[in-house]
Structures are given as structure tokens and as C-alpha cells.
Structure 1
């Protein structure tokens, strides 16, 4: 074979290789451009039903209402545990907190678990997180390409026995009724670092939104699909907000929360324990309570405006139609309901339920889903949105994308939540389906509510002997899932409420007033 023929063959081979590479790159670019983007927005301490699309007659949430009209909204979305860090860890890892051995704020996030951010990044997405995550031990290591944390809670080994209720040192929830405002023009609108505390959570969230907006502005030059997580602190107390948002409600008659008695002797003894821990043992005037709610409503409207900024940027850059948007919160706030103020740690709806709105490509528009879902469902749902073939039998969540696209009915299911933290010397567990909510209080009687006929949870059916069979059914189901006593002891050992020799450290002679 002469050299001329060899050169021709080699040239043809190089041409073939180049064509394969060109075809592969072109195919990847087309594939990448067609893959949907994902925007996940998580607020902090947002009541599940204070929004226009949920029927609140006063609050102004035009952007959230429009988002709900463009997609699906869930009226029964629950967190794995109603407090910041455990809730966010649960939806980032897709597991319940007892599976993660993760019990309360300040504890280091597990390093042997994998976030969905890591998997989405590995699949070829360009990913970022800006704002609050509350991930001690994993700040900067959550799996995103970019990460900026607006506030970092220091890691602690264990809070010690003083983290449970001490009757001599209640939380002084009276401070939760105080409202402070400021002129929004005083704050640097283009700030990229957290501002002074006198500007409240706004000084933390404004930089987070600015980072997110800059991220979205730069995406048109990047051919990769992207995933962005934005963590906000509003409307978390203290009630500090720009004056213009307070003024939106200054002359509005705010709806009073139901069952707002301080103290409330009609609620479950465990809830009375939470109420004592709040420290609000005197009935505030109706005007003082409504004024606090005006400030809270104002913070929700401020969050809504920030959401609007993100949506405007998506539409300006032509990315809105190809972007899944998930809007939710890490927990709620009772906001005076049942006489609980500044408390987010109970199994009552305002605390353990959150808003959840999802929109995006092929998501059915304007659909309300009343079937219970959990934020642990976000892991498999995001995997499916990103086209990642991943399953884990240890993950309890359900992929919601077939429901969002109308390919699957939202069938009834039982959702689980739990609590092992502040304000309570024991633990509680919740099971909820479309019809009933069951609450197992360690060391006291259970509660049972008919959520269809009693959505405000005013009539505890556990006091009615006719429902003893239903209590037994739920208790059996709970114990088939976990050992509630063993899990509670695991949490108390972490909190150092059980000594090495097995002695339990509890304030007072009883964990809470015994039921009659």
C-alpha cells in the first residue's frame, strides 16, 4: 500500500471522527437546550393559606396567584418536620428526619447522604443556590456549582437539656406581636451581601434575590440547562418590613385567627405545653394581634414582589415556558390559631402544612390538588423533571410529575411528619390522609381530626369513643412504619436528655399537663 493511499484513508478517518464529534456536540446542544430548567423557591415560616389563590380575602399576592393559575397548587402539602433545618434537610435528601438521624437546628447535616443538587449537577445541569439553606457542616458542599449562603447557623454538638421547655424561661412570644418598619429607600437595592439587622429579614433576602437575578441574566450565554434554588427568610419573625408593605394593610380589617384564646384550655394538653413555652399567657387585644398580622401580611406581599422579579426575568429572557417553578416554604406559623403565637412546631395545619405551587412545561394549568403530599416528594419529582433515572427504595417520597402533567390521578395517600425539638419534652408523630389527621403524642393521649368536615381542627375525635377503632388503625400503621418510642429516645440521646446510664432529664414532674 503506497503512502498516497494511506494518507487518503487517514484523512477520511479524521473526517469521520470530526463528523462524529460535531454530531455529538450538536446533539448535546439540542438536547441541553430542550431540557427544562428548574427554579426552586423556599420561603421561611409561611402560613399555608394566606394567599389570594387560597381564598384569603385580604392579602395581596398577585404573582403567586398568577403562578398558581399557570400550574398546580396543593392545599395539603406537609413538611417532614416543622422547623427550618430539619425540614430543608428532609427535602434536599428526600428522607424523613429519623432516617437521617437529624433532629433539630444547629445539628450538622449528614455527610454520607446525597442531595438532589449533586445528582442534578452531575447530570449536566448548571446549578446554583442563593440564600438560606440552614445546613451546618455542609455550607459550600451541597452539590451546586455556585453557592452563596445569606446566613450560616453555627454547628453545635448538642443543645443540651436546656433546649426543652423550662417553665422559668419561656420564649416570650409577646415579642412576636411587635411590628417594626423602615423606609425601603434606606436600603441599598443592589446589595449582594446581607445588610444590618435593623432591616430585618429583608436585608438578607434582598441580596439573595439579587444574586438569583444575576444568575438568570447570565443564562442565555450558557447552553446548559440550569437549576436554581433560592432560599428566603421572610416572612419569618421578627415582623420587620418596609413601610410600604405595612401600609398596604394599615387600614384593612385583618381576619382574626380561629380559636385565638390565650391561654387556650380547650386544646390538647401537649399544645397547652407549647403555649406555655410561647410565654403568651395573657389575651392580647384584638387590635394588637391584628396589627401583628398586618405586618406578617406585608412580609408575604414583599415576598410576592420578589417572586415577581424572578418571573419577570425569566420571561424577559424567554425562559419562562421551559422552566419548572416550585414555590413552597420550610414550615408554617400558627399565627394565633388555637392560641399559639410565634410557634411553628406543632402538628396543627398552620404549622406543619405549607404552600406548594408548581408550574412548568406540560404542567396542567389552574388545577387544585387536595390530596396530601410531602416535601420529601420533591427529590423524586426533581429527578424526573431533570430526566434523571434514579430510584432509592429508602426514599419515601412520590414522584409528582405524572400528576402535574395529568397522566396520573392524585390518589389518596397517608403522609408522615414528626417532631423532636424545642418546647416539648417528648415527641409527636403525624399521619394524615384526605379524611383524617392522626397525631401520636408520646406520653399522652392521641388526637384525631376529620379534615374534610373540620379543617380548622376544633373537634378532637380522640375524645369520642366511637372513633377508638380509627385510633387503633392509625396507631398500628404508625408502628408498622417506625417504633415511635425508640425514635423519640434516639432524639433525646442526641439532645443529651438521656444520660449515659439511661436516666431521662425532664423539667418538672410531668412532661405536660395530663389529659382528663
Structure 2
């Protein structure tokens, strides 16, 4: 029988902010506990360094340029199969608990007459998942209204708990209190050192952990199931309740990774991002000193709640039947490379944590190991289909199953990984005066090199990861590296020629049509009549003719 799959995604969690990944001051024993039971993939990359596009790639198992939902609030077009579709076909239910950042293709659904109230319509609108509870965790409000206009079950939970605000997501879970008794919004990073104005057990991460336990309890005697548990934290607003708000201080912050040389004649797109509001803010040491301890506190709370989940699985005897997957949709610069948030392809942004613990005996030989192969996050969909006992549809899913790597099997693997970014809606695009079609970036990374190609006539960026692992020296304009750049462009061109749009018929179906082809259904072409023709090809066309009066 297939195992259950607990697929946990954290939002904006850096790959190197875990103690098992080498962080010197942030202890994450629960993440480490999963790593000790399984495999930590040290070189995993998301398919786009922004929430929506990254998640749509993970859920569809396809590259951004294949599914087209290239940024936040870009709809995932009707007809794209997702993880839930593939798993249900293999006999495994697939549920959502938390965030997707998926924007439904409402126009496409209306064109096809798909009602959101129907089972099929609801799945299309919810990225292929059956929804246990969905909350994208961004109940922000501005002059034009709310960012998330649909619903916030977390807000309703807080109101039921007695929090008096109309928007306790902001006023309590993501804000503190000033000395004068006013709301200290977490959107203003000066308040990151304050405790959030909420009881810790009511904050977002414990709330979603409790909903996850509720779900697993309800599945007893059922299954197998895949549960996508999608936490909003440690994503901004950078504010966390006591006691996590002051667990870490300035002395716990690792030194910033940046160089003055990066600001001298930078790549134009990179320069435009450094000049933006987020990059400018995180270039200030004061911002880093205030924000990073809160970010670390949010991760520590995530780790503690993960421990709660692991203990629950152990105590109820379900750990032996449950694969655990820990990852993130992208990272967070936190001031490295004069940047904040994400958007470019330096490792703090595009490289993600990925830990998989498979309890089955076939994975025993690799427990507690680290894999340094180039992994893409689209590999997860194919991995889950194989774990569910299904056949991976290679003509649809563009990733590769990680099961052979989890089991220590000798298998040929990719020698480069790809990530993409559409920045057409950004301030950087406006500053550069680019048309939307020119606002695209492509990353090619190998064991040694990382190159970024930018549309719009710009030169590439290039980093030698062997001699410059911190990615501080851009060699994209170096004539001495012309051959390296040419070789990386060959890899990008090879990837761009992939067969990505023939999703309705597989290679096996095509090959089956070669065996007799159309002749087996009576289409006889190129025959004179005296060839050695299989008799059954002519059965329907043989026999005595009945003459017809043609006068």
C-alpha cells in the first residue's frame, strides 16, 4: 500500500537558515530530526523566485513557461493538470491545508461552464486540491481594499476566540503595540522587534498546525492521502509573538554577504532591483539588525510546531506510514547582495531547503545523508506520483522522480537546473522602460557555474560557484569566459527545445500508433495492390461487387 505524504511548504524560508544546513546560531532540532530520518537535498532550486509562479510550477510539475502563471495573481489556465489530478488518478486523495497563492482562471472556467460550486469546478479553482482549509495569509488592506478578497478562515477563528478587531490577522497576529498604545504594524519593519499582540498559541503557525492534526485525525482508517500543509511563515510581516520575539539578537545574525563592487556597473536588471524600495531598505544595517532576529524567531516557531506534528505522528503510530517533505517556495535575501525579499537568482533567493523522509525500508540506506545533485522543485510532483504507485506521465510532468535518489540507486541525473522569472509588473521593469515581453530572466546552474540570461538585449550575468561561492563577482562581461557562457547558452537552448505542450498524448501512445498505424483502420496509402499486404487489411474491402446502374 502507498504511504501517506505530508507535504509541508514554508513561505520564504532560506535554504541556509536551518542548523542541519549549517546555520551557526539558529537551532532547528525538528528540521534536523526529519533530515536524520531521510535525505537533505542541498542543491534544490525553485522554478521561479516568487510565490505564485514557484508554487504553480511545484503543483503542476511543469516549468513556468509551460504553465504560464508567471507571477503572483497570474491565473493558472484551465486545463493545466496539477498534483491533485495526477494523484487521484493513482488512487491517492490530495488535500490543501493553508496557502496556495493560486489565482483561478475565472474567465476560462466561465467559458467552459465550470461552476466553482461543482466538485470539478472547485478543484480547478483551488489548484487541483480538495480543500480542508485555505488561507493565503495575506489579509492586508489598503486604499483599494483587501489584497485577498475571498476569505480568511484564520480571521474568523481569531474573532471566535474573542479578538475584537475587524482584521485581527493584521491588528493582532501581525502587529505589536507601541509605547503609546497604538497599533505597531508589522508591515513597518521598525516594529519587527516587538512581540505580536496575540497569544502565541493563537498565532498563524500553531493555528495551521492544529488544523493539520485535525485533518490527519479525520483520515484514520482512510487513505492513502497527500496533505499539502502550506505555512505562511516566516514570510513577512516580520513579527512574531512572545517568547520568540527576543530569542535572538544582533549577535546571532550571520555576517551579510555583499560587496561594494556589486554596485559598480551592475547588470541593469540587478541594478534596478538594488535601487528599489526593498533593496534600499535592506541595504541599511538598522533594518537587518531589526528584521533578522524576528525572521529567526519565526523559523524557531515553525520548528517547534513541526516538532509538535512529528510527536503526534510518532505517538499515534502513523510515522511509519507517512512520508514527510519539508521545503519552501523561495528564499529571502535579508540584505545579502544589497537586496531584500527575492526576485533574482542568487542562492539566498532561488535555492530552497528540501528534506524528504521516506519511512519505507527501501530508503533505509540513505537515512541521514545529504544529496548534492541538482534538484528542481518540479521533481516533487513526479516523486509523489511514483510514491502513490502511479505511472509518471512524462509527457506532462517535466520534473523527475526523486525516489531513486531516496533509495540510493545509481541513476543518470540532470547536469543543469533551470529557473525563470517574469518581472513585468515590477518597479524594476518601469525603471528600465521595458515592454512586458522583455521582462524575463532565465537561470541556468550547473555544478560550477550559474548564468542569468535577460531578455531585452542585456548581457548575461555569470558566477563561478567553485571560486566564488558567495556570487560576488559577476563575470558576465568577461571576454575570458566567452566559451563558458556559450556552453551555458547551449544548455538553455537545449532546455528551450523541450517538448512541453504536447500534453494530451504520451510517447507510448504515439509509438503504439506506429504498429500498423492508420492501415489497421482502413486507411491504405501508397499501395499499388500487388504488394505483400496483410489479408486482414483488405477484409472489409474484398468480396464480390454488386453492380450499380449508372445510367
TM-score by length of 1: 0.75
- Corresponding residue of 1:480: 494
- Corresponding residue of 2:11: 44
Question: Is contact 2:283-2:339 (8 Å) kept?
Answer: no
Once the 2 structures are TM-superposed, how far is the Cα of residue 348 of structure 1 from its aligned partner?
1.0
Please give the secondary structure, in 2, of the residue aligned with 1:242.
Answer: coil
2:57 to 83, 90, 102: 90
- Corresponding residue of 1:375: 377
Once the 2 structures are TM-superposed, how far is the Cα of residue 35 of structure 1 from its aligned partner?
2.1
Aligned CA RMSD, in angstroms, stands at 2.7
Q: Deviations over 1:119-171 (max 9, x none)?
A: 22343334321100111217841344443111386599xxxxxxxxxxxxxxx
Once the 2 structures are TM-superposed, how far is the Cα of residue 415 of structure 1 from its aligned partner?
0.7
Please give the secondary structure, in 1, of the residue aligned with 2:325.
Answer: strand
Matches within 5 A, 1:224-239: 224-239=223-238
Please give the secondary structure, in 2, of the residue aligned with 1:233.
Answer: coil
2:97 to 121, 130, 142: 130
- Corresponding residue of 1:333: 332
Please give the secondary structure, in 2, of the residue aligned with 1:207.
Answer: helix
Question: Is contact 1:85-1:135 (8 Å) kept?
Answer: yes
Alpha-carbon distance in structure 2 between the residues aligned to 1:101 and 1:188: 39
Once the 2 structures are TM-superposed, how far is the Cα of residue 264 of structure 1 from its aligned partner?
3.2
TM-score by length of 2: 0.71
Q: Which runs of 5+ in 2 are unaligned?
A: 106-115, 117-121, 138-146, 151-185, 430-438, 498-551
Question: Is contact 1:263-1:275 (8 Å) kept?
Answer: no
Alpha-carbon distance in structure 2 between the residues aligned to 1:256 and 1:477: 34
Comparing 392-401 with 425-434, which one deviates more in the overlay?
392-401
- Corresponding residue of 1:61: 28
Please give the secondary structure, in 2, of the residue aligned with 1:182.
Answer: coil
Matches within 5 A, 1:344-383: 344-360=342-358, 361=360, 362-363=362-363, 364-383=366-385
Q: 1:299 to 1:351 in 2, by over 3 A?
A: same
Please give the secondary structure, in 1, of the residue aligned with 2:489.
Answer: helix
Alpha-carbon distance in structure 1 between the residues aligned to 2:478 and 2:468: 15
- Corresponding residue of 2:389: 387
Q: Which runs of 5+ in 1 are unaligned?
A: 1-33, 157-172, 190-201, 484-516
Once the 2 structures are TM-superposed, how far is the Cα of residue 255 of structure 1 from its aligned partner?
1.1
Question: Is contact 2:5-2:225 (8 Å) kept?
Answer: yes
Residues paired across the two proteins, number: 420
Q: 1:69 to 1:473 in 2, by over 3 A?
A: same
Alpha-carbon distance in structure 2 between the residues aligned to 1:444 and 1:65: 42
Comparing 406-415 with 419-428, which one deviates more in the overlay?
406-415
Please give the secondary structure, in 1, of the residue aligned with 2:323.
Answer: strand
Once the 2 structures are TM-superposed, how far is the Cα of residue 288 of structure 1 from its aligned partner?
4.2
- Corresponding residue of 2:214: 214
Q: 1:382 to 1:89 in 2, by over 3 A?
A: same
Q: Deviations over 1:186-234 (max 9, x none)?
A: 3563xxxxxxxxxxxx43x4332221111122333x2422211101110
Q: 1:130 to 1:59 in 2, by over 3 A?
A: same
Please give the secondary structure, in 2, of the residue aligned with 1:461.
Answer: coil
Q: Deviations over 1:3-26 (max 9, x none)?
A: xxxxxxxxxxxxxxxxxxxxxxxx
Please give the secondary structure, in 1, of the residue aligned with 2:34.
Answer: helix
2:477 to 463, 467, 473: 463
Once the 2 structures are TM-superposed, how far is the Cα of residue 372 of structure 1 from its aligned partner?
1.3
Bigger Rg over Cα:
2
- Corresponding residue of 1:186: 199
Q: 1:188 to 1:473 in 2, by over 3 A?
A: closer
